[in-house]
Amino acid sequence: MKTVLGFAAVLLVLALGWSSLGDREPSSAGAPARSQTRDSGPLGNADGYVAVGASLSPFSSEPALAKLDPALREALLEAAGDAGAEGVELRVNGGWRSARYQRALLGRAVETYGSVEAARQYVMPPGESSHVTGEAVDVGPADAAAWLTRSGSAYGLCQVYANEPWHFELATEPGGACPPLTASAAEG
């Protein structure tokens, strides 16, 4: 029954139309994409695709990083350099994403969590995602995310969601205090 409900939720998202979820266009290992979308074939570098389990150097020129907001990219590069000097390798698991990629992520989250409402705790529709506008970056591994949580405000980078310790945005001036965490993207 849960599978049927999950499938029904995906159909509901499709029936609502992706445009009602937002379609703003503003990531990505060099290997071919393995994820398929209903839009038009496999996701790839042009979508900002980063394969599950893969990551990018913050210094990469892949679209997932190249299409980030310039101020966010500059802050990320500075932070990555300083983290590296302290022996912490900061990697990027996700950055800028096309609306098509964000829709695919939302569809998978609906299948995983069983409803659009539950999925929105982790994945926003394209028109509401700071990844689609290039204003967010997901970092790893866990020690790098922890380093950025402790040190990121020096660069203006802040963890913004309590349930996503890997998700960072420019949320303060460099050296300022990060705002309190929001429980999830759905509540932000």
Q: What is the pLDDT of residue 142?
A: 97
Total-model pTM: 0.79
Element of type H or E holding 106? helix 99-113
Fold classification of 2-26+41-187 (topology level): Muramoyl-pentapeptide Carboxypeptidase; domain 2 (3.30.1380)
pLDDT band for 40, please (50, 70, 90 cuts): low
Q: What is the DSSP letter of 31?
A: S
Give the span between the Cα atoms of 126 and 132, in whole angstroms: 6
AA letter at 178 = C
Largest CA distance in the chain: 52
Amino acid 58 reads P
Say if residues 134 and 126 touch (Cβ distance below 8 Å): no
By CB neighbour count within 10 A (0-12 exposed, 13-18 middle, 19+ buried), where does 90 fall? buried
First-to-last alpha carbon distance for the chain, in angstroms, is 31
103-139 as b/e, with b when 16 or more CB fall inside 10 Å?
Answer: bbbbbbbbeebbebeebbbbbbbbbbbbbbbbbbbbb
Q: Is the pLDDT of residue 162 over 90?
A: yes
pLDDT tens, position by position, 66-108 = 999 999 999 999 999 999 999 999 999 999 999 999 999 999 9
The Cβ of residue 145 has, within 10 Å, a number of other Cβ atoms equal to: 23
Cis peptide before 141 (omega within 30 of 0): yes
Q: What is the pLDDT of residues 42-56, one digit of tens each?
A: 999 999 999 989 999
Q: Which two tokens stand for residue 183?
A: 């429980």
